[in-house]
């Protein structure tokens, strides 16, 4: 996995709204954490690619104008942190952990808003 290349493809995939393209880099047993998931699927932890697909399908349907722009890329041992903004200018960061095949096995999204921790 090449960090800047991954981040560029991640951004392009999300901006295409093509779920197959978005999920291409995620393992079948991925674990995704986001407090935004609570509103959509009732839990802040989404387990497995089918559940993640269902969550992101609902999220994309609710936000047809969703767009991301990666603003920073940081990499560590088998991990990557990306900062980005959405179409409304709101900032977020995502931490991604990779397996030996270069697939995302765990992802955690954090958003710059003033809501409570969950």
25-70 per-position pLDDT tens digit = 999 999 999 988 988 888 899 999 999 999 999 999 998 999 999 9
Helix (H) and strand (E) counts in the chain: 4, 6
DSSP 67-114: -EEEEEEEEETTEEEEEEEETT--EEEEEEEE-TTS-EEEEEEEE-SS
Give the pLDDT mean for 11-29.
96
Residues with Cβ < 8 Å from 34, sequence gap 6 or more?
Answer: 44, 46, 108, 109, 111
Q: Is residue 37 part of a domain?
A: yes
In a domain, 69, yes or no: yes
- State how many domains the chain has: 1
In a domain, 65, yes or no: yes
Question: Which residues form the domain of 45?
Answer: 3-110
pLDDT in tens, 64-113: 999 999 999 999 999 999 999 999 888 999 999 999 999 999 999 998 87
Q: Are 38 and 110 in contact (CB under 8 A)?
A: no
pLDDT of residue 1: 66
State what percent of residues in the chain have pLDDT above 90: 75
Q: What is the pTM of this model?
A: 0.88
- Kindly report the CATH number assigned to the domain that includes residue 49: 3.10.450.50
Number of other CB atoms surrounding residue 13 within 10 Å: 18
């Amino acid at each position: 996995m090449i960090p800047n290349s991954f981040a560029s493809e991640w951004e392009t995939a999300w901006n295409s709204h093509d779920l197959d393209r978005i999920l291409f880099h995620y393992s079948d047993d991925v674990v995704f954490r986001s407090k935004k998931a609570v509103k959509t699927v009732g839990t802040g932890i989404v387990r497995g690619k089918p559940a993640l697909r269902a969550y992101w399908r609902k999220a994309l349907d609710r936000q047809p104008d969703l767009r991301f722009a990666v603003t920073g890329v940081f990499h560590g041992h088998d991990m990557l942190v990306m900062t980005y903004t959405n179409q409304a200018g709101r900032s977020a960061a995502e931490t991604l952990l990779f397996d030996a095949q270069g697939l995302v096995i765990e992802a955690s999204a954090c958003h710059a808003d003033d809501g409570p921790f969950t």
